[in-house]
Structure 1
Amino acid sequence: MKRITMIGDVGWSRFYHLGDEAMTEMALDALNQRGGIEVTLIAGEPAHASEMYGVKAIPRIGFKRNRPPNITRMERVLEFARTEGASGGLAPGDPAIRVIEAVRSSDAVLIAGGGNLNSMFAHHIYERVTLGRIAQLFGKPYALTSQTLGPLIYDEDRKLVYEFLADAEFLGSREGYTTKFAKQVGGKRAVIRRQVDDAFSLEARDSDRDDVSDLTNEPFILASYAEKASSPVLSDSRYHEILTEITRRLADETGLKVLLVPHGGGFPPAQHTRDQIANAQIAEEIGRDRVEPTRMLTARQLVALTERAEFVIGTRYHAGIFAGAAAVPFISVVPNLYSSIRMRGAAENVGMEQFVLPIESIDDIVDTGVGLAENRSTFHEVLKESSVRRREEHRDWWDFVVAHTVGDESGVKPDASSVPAPGFFHAEEITNGFGTELEANRARLAAIESYGLLLAKRDRQLAVARREAHEATRALDRSEARHQRQDDMTIVKFARSARKLQRRLKRSARRALNHAPAAIAPRSE
C-alpha cells in the first residue's frame, strides 16, 4: 500500500467553498481509482473532512497572515523535524507534529489544487512551503496539481516560492498565465506541466441528480456570483447593482428561470453566509418569481445541476469549469485581476475565451446570454468535443501524477520519458457573435489585469512603507525612552550623591562640635 499525504483548502463544518472542495474531492477520486494508495488529508477541521471524504485527516501546521511570526514558526517546525523532536520547542499537542509524522510515513506529498501560492494569502504560502521542506528532509517527493500561481508574489515571498517550485517534482498549471509566470518565479529547475483544473473531471452520481431534481422542473439559467467585487476600482455596492441589473434583464429577455447558486456558504445547521446572503439580496431586489436563490449544494450536486442548465453565468471561477466540462455554454463575468487571469485561462481551455466579459459591459453580457439561450444545442455540440478530449488528457494526467510520485505497485518510479506528461491540445476559439464590442472588451480585460497589478504593487509598497515607518517610530520612541531613563538615572544618582554628601557633612559637623575645646565655648559674664 502506497501512502500520500495531501493538503487541500477544505474541511470546515461552518463554511463550504465549493470550488476548493471540488478539486480536492476529484484528486481523491483519481487516487482511489488507481488503487493501492492510502491518503492522509491535511484539512481545516480533520474530523469533519474525514467524515465528508472517508479518509484519514489531520490538522494543518497552522500559520498566520503576518510574516515574521510565520518565519519563526517554520524554522521551529523544521528544526523539530530535523532533530526528531530533540529541539524546536514544539508543545506535545502541536498540530505540526502530526503533519511531520504523516509525511515521514508517506511515500509522497501532494498539494491539491487552488490559488494559494499568492502573497495575498501568506499563511497558505508558508503552510505549503513548510510541508514541502518537511518532505525534503525525509527524502519524499512532493508535487503540485491544478495550480494558479500569483498573480501577486511579493519580493519578500519570492525566494520561498522559487525554492518551493524548483525542488518540486512538478507543478500542474491550470492556465497559460501560471505556466509562464512559474518559469519566471521558479527558474530553470521548475518542472511545469499544463493541465485543466482538477474539478473539470468531477462526476455527478445518480443520487446527486436525484438531489437536485426539484430545481430542474423547467428550463433555467445557472448563475453563481461571488459575494463581493474584491476590486480596488469597483465598490461592492456598485458590483451588487450591476449583478442585479444583469440578472433581472436575463430573466426578462430570455423568459427563463434564473437559479442563483452559492459557491461559498454553509450547510445546515450552519448559518447562511457570503454568497448565500448576496444571492438572497439580489433576488429580493429583483422581485421576480423566476429569480430564485438555491440552497447550498455539494460540488457533485452542482455538477448534476450544471448538466441541465441552458447556460451558465458567473463571477465565480468554477462556474465556468463545471460548465465547460458538461459542454454547457457559459459567460464568465470579470470584476477583478485574479478573476480575469483564472477565467480567461479556463475559458481558453475549451475555446470560450470570447465569452469572458468585463463586468461593466452590461449590454454585451445580456446580449450574449440571450444568444446562448437561443443556440444552446449548437454550442453544446462544439463544447462536447473539447470536453471529451480534456477528460482523456486529465486521466492521463493523473496516471502521470501517480507514476512520478509513488510509482507503480512495486514502488518503482519511471523516468520522465516512460510516463511523460500528457499533451495539451489547442481548443479552437468559438466566436461570440452576440456582443458588439469584442475588441473593446478584450482591452478592458487587459486593463483590469494591468491596472490591478499596478494598484496591488502600489498598495503593497505603501503597506511596507507604513510598516517600516511604524517600526522606525517605535524604535525612535524606544531610543528616546531609553535616553530619558538614562537621564533620569543621572539625576537620581546626582540626588543620591548630594544626599550622601549632605549626610557626611552633617556627621562631620556633629563630630567637630562634640570634640571642640572648651576654650571656644561661650564665656559667662
Structure 2
Amino acid sequence: MHVVALGDVGVIDDMMHIGDEAMFQAAHDELDSRGASLVAVSSVPDETAERYRVRAVPRIRFDGLGRAASEARLEAVLARADGHTTLAPDDSAHAVVAAVADADGVLIAGGGNLASTWPLHVYERAALAGIAARLGRPLVVTGQTLGPHLHGRDRELVANLLRSAKLVGVRESSSLQLAADLGVTARLGVDDASFVGMRSGDGPPARDGVLVSLSLSLGRAPRADTVARIAALLDEAADVVGGPVRFHAHFGSLSGTAARGDAVLHDEVRACMRAPSTVVPTGAPRAAASLARSSALLITGRYHPAVFATPAGVPVLGLVTDDYTAVKQRGALAHWAQDATVPISEADSSGIPRLRGLWHERERIGADAIVLLPRHRGDSQRWWDAVATALG
C-alpha cells in the first residue's frame, strides 16, 4: 500500500519544529507497521526523504498569495488533476498530482492549520483533497485542531475537504463540535504523537526537575513584563519541585551556538531568574518526548511538550496566549484529567498559586495517567487500524 502524506515537515535553515515532525513521525510509524509506504509532501523533500527513509515531493505551495491568487491557483491545480493544465512545466503541483495518481490513498497528517489564521495551509490541504477526489483516491484526515476561528471561504474549503474524507480525526472536544457544525462526523482522540518513542509495557520513567518549553510568540502580552513574570513563576517552581530547571526549545536550531527560535525567549527568561538553569539542545521528536516524560513538572507555552508529558503522568502547567493556544493546551490536558492553564500575562499572579495546587495533585495525576494510558493507547491502535483499512 502506498500513501501520499501531507504534514508540516521539512527542516529549513537547520530549524526544527519538533511538534510538526512528531505528528508525521507517528503517522509514518503507525502506517509502516501496517505495511504501508509513505510519499511525503514536504517543504524540503530531500531532507524529509533522508530523515524518514521515504520518497518525498514538494508542497503545492500557496505561500505569499492573496485570496484571488490562491483561488486561481487552486482552480489550476485541480484542473491539472483532471488532465488539463495551465501550470508551468516546473510547477511543484505536477509532482504531487503524479504521486497521488501512483498511490492507493492520501493522508492529511495531524496539525492545527485548518483555521482562518493560516489560509495558505487551508488552500494547500483543500488542493490535496481535491486531487484525491478527482483521481478517485481515498482520503483520511487525522489528528486535527479545527479553528477555533474559521470563517467565510476558509470554512467552506475545510468543510468540503472534511466531507470528502473517509475518516476524520480531531484532538479536542471543541474541534469535534466544529466538525459537527460543518456536517462531518469525526473521531475524538489524543494527539497522534502522544506515544512517539513510548514502548508498550514500559513503566513510568524516573522523573526529576522542571522542564520549560516556551514559544517565542507571546501574543499581545508586553515582552519585558512577561519575561519577568515567567521568570518569577519558574523560580517558584524551582523552589517547590527541587531538582534542575531545564529549558528545551521545540522550535530551535539543530546546530550552532546562536540562539534562534524559542531559544531567544528562553535566554531572556533565564537571565531574569535567580534559580540556576540549563539548556537541552533541540533535537528529534523521540528525544524530546523522552525528556518531557522524565521531568517532574512541565511548564510550557508549546503544545507538544504537554502531549508528550501527560501520558507519563507528568503534571503540566500550560501558558496560553490566545483562543487558539488555549483550545490546544486545554484539549491536550483534558484527555489525561488535567486542566492547569493560565494566561501567559498572568504567569506569576495566577500561575504561582496554580503551580502550587498542581504540585499538590501530582500523585492523583500520576495515578490517573496509569488508568488512562491503556485506554488511550488501545483507542489509538484501533484508529490507525481503521486508517490503514480506509486507505488500503
Q: Which amino acid aligns with 1:245?
A: A
1:383 aligns with 2:369: yes
> Which residue of the partner structure matches residue 227 of structure 1?
216
> Which residue of the partner structure matches residue 283 of structure 2?
297
> Which residue of the partner structure matches residue 356 of structure 1?
341
**SS of match in other structure, 1:168:** coil
2:191 corresponds to which of 197, 208, 212: 197
1:93 aligns with 2:81: no
1:142 aligns with 2:139: yes
**SS of match in other structure, 2:117:** helix
Query: 1:378/1:349 Cα in 2 relative to 1: closer, same or farther (>3 Å)?
Result: closer
1:122 aligns with 2:119: yes
Alpha-carbon distance in structure 2 between the residues aligned to 1:194 and 1:274? 31
Q: CA deviation at 1:140?
A: 0.6
Number of equivalences = 384
Query: 1:361/1:282 Cα in 2 relative to 1: closer, same or farther (>3 Å)?
Result: closer
Report if the CA contact (8 A) 2:315-2:358 is conserved. yes
After superposition, what is the alpha-carbon deviation per residue over 1:55-77, rounded to whole angstroms, capped at 9, x for unaligned? 11111011124211111111111
Alpha-carbon distance in structure 1 between the residues aligned to 2:257 and 2:30? 30
Q: CA deviation at 1:115?
A: 0.6
> Which residue of the partner structure matches residue 365 of structure 1?
351
> Which residue of the partner structure matches residue 111 of structure 1?
108
Alpha-carbon distance in structure 2 between the residues aligned to 1:94 and 1:39? 22
Query: 1:68/1:280 Cα in 2 relative to 1: closer, same or farther (>3 Å)?
Result: same
Once the two structures are overlaid, the 10-residue window that deviates more, 22-31 or 222-231, is 222-231
1:284 corresponds to which of 260, 271, 280: 271
Q: CA deviation at 1:397?
A: 0.9
Q: Which amino acid aligns with 2:385?
A: D
Report if the CA contact (8 A) 2:8-2:21 is conserved. yes
Alpha-carbon distance in structure 2 between the residues aligned to 1:376 and 1:350? 13
Q: CA deviation at 1:356?
A: 2.3
Alpha-carbon distance in structure 2 between the residues aligned to 1:39 and 1:156? 31
Query: 1:164/1:270 Cα in 2 relative to 1: closer, same or farther (>3 Å)?
Result: farther
Q: CA deviation at 1:384?
A: 1.6
**SS of match in other structure, 1:120:** coil
Q: CA deviation at 1:363?
A: 4.3
After superposition, what is the alpha-carbon deviation per residue over 1:94-134, rounded to whole angstroms, capped at 9, x for unaligned? 11100000001111100000011111111101110000000
Q: CA deviation at 1:138?
A: 0.6
> Which residue of the partner structure matches residue 33 of structure 2?
33
Alpha-carbon distance in structure 2 between the residues aligned to 1:119 and 1:77? 21
1:249 aligns with 2:236: yes
Question: Which of structures 1 and 2 has the larger relative contact order (alpha carbons within 8 angstroms, sep 6+)?
Answer: 2
Q: CA deviation at 1:369?
A: 3.0
Query: 1:361/1:264 Cα in 2 relative to 1: closer, same or farther (>3 Å)?
Result: closer
Q: CA deviation at 1:269?
A: 4.7
> Which residue of the partner structure matches residue 167 of structure 1?
164
Query: 1:228/1:242 Cα in 2 relative to 1: closer, same or farther (>3 Å)?
Result: farther
> Which residue of the partner structure matches residue 202 of structure 2?
none
* Larger Rg computed on CA atoms: 1
Alpha-carbon distance in structure 2 between the residues aligned to 1:254 and 1:121? 38
1:347 corresponds to which of 296, 309, 333: 333
Report if the CA contact (8 A) 2:289-2:305 is conserved. no
Report if the CA contact (8 A) 2:6-2:42 is conserved. yes
Q: CA deviation at 1:313?
A: 1.3
> Which residue of the partner structure matches residue 56 of structure 2?
57
Q: CA deviation at 1:331?
A: 1.4
Alpha-carbon distance in structure 1 between the residues aligned to 2:298 and 2:103? 41
Report if the CA contact (8 A) 2:115-2:150 is conserved. yes
Give the unaligned 5+ runs of structure 2: 200-204
Q: Which amino acid aligns with 1:121?
A: W
1:21 aligns with 2:6: no
Q: CA deviation at 1:380?
A: 1.6
Alpha-carbon distance in structure 1 between the residues aligned to 2:217 and 2:264? 11
Deviation >6 Å, runs of 4+ = none
Q: CA deviation at 1:250?
A: 1.7
Alpha-carbon distance in structure 1 between the residues aligned to 2:156 and 2:98? 27
> Which residue of the partner structure matches residue 47 of structure 1?
46
Alpha-carbon distance in structure 1 between the residues aligned to 2:327 and 2:209? 28
Report if the CA contact (8 A) 1:142-1:405 is conserved. yes
Query: 1:120/1:109 Cα in 2 relative to 1: closer, same or farther (>3 Å)?
Result: same
Query: 1:248/1:52 Cα in 2 relative to 1: closer, same or farther (>3 Å)?
Result: same
5 Å-filtered alignment, 1:442-457, equals none
Give the unaligned 5+ runs of structure 1: 206-212, 407-525
Report if the CA contact (8 A) 2:115-2:154 is conserved. no
Query: 1:128/1:326 Cα in 2 relative to 1: closer, same or farther (>3 Å)?
Result: same
Once the two structures are overlaid, the 10-residue window that deviates more, 49-58 or 155-164, is 155-164
For the aligned residues, what is the CA RMSD? Answer: 2.1
1:395 corresponds to which of 377, 381, 390: 381
Report if the CA contact (8 A) 2:241-2:297 is conserved. no
% same residue:
31
Report if the CA contact (8 A) 1:204-1:301 is conserved. no
Alpha-carbon distance in structure 1 between the residues aligned to 2:152 and 2:354? 41
Once the two structures are overlaid, the 10-residue window that deviates more, 109-118 or 72-81, is 72-81
After superposition, what is the alpha-carbon deviation per residue over 1:460-490, rounded to whole angstroms, capped at 9, x for unaligned? xxxxxxxxxxxxxxxxxxxxxxxxxxxxxxx
Q: Which amino acid aligns with 1:219?
A: D
**SS of match in other structure, 2:317:** strand
After superposition, what is the alpha-carbon deviation per residue over 1:303-336, rounded to whole angstroms, capped at 9, x for unaligned? 1112221111111111211111222221122221
Q: CA deviation at 1:22?
A: 0.7
**SS of match in other structure, 1:226:** coil
After superposition, what is the alpha-carbon deviation per residue over 1:405-441, rounded to whole angstroms, capped at 9, x for unaligned? 21xxxxxxxxxxxxxxxxxxxxxxxxxxxxxxxxxxx
Q: CA deviation at 1:40?
A: 0.2
Q: Which amino acid aligns with 1:393?
A: D
> Which residue of the partner structure matches residue 69 of structure 2?
69
**SS of match in other structure, 2:122:** helix
> Which residue of the partner structure matches residue 176 of structure 2?
179
Q: CA deviation at 1:357?
A: 2.7
Report if the CA contact (8 A) 1:168-1:191 is conserved. no
Q: CA deviation at 1:259?
A: 0.7
TM-score, length-scaled by structure 1: 0.70
Q: Which amino acid aligns with 2:113?
A: N
Alpha-carbon distance in structure 2 between the residues aligned to 1:173 and 1:326? 22
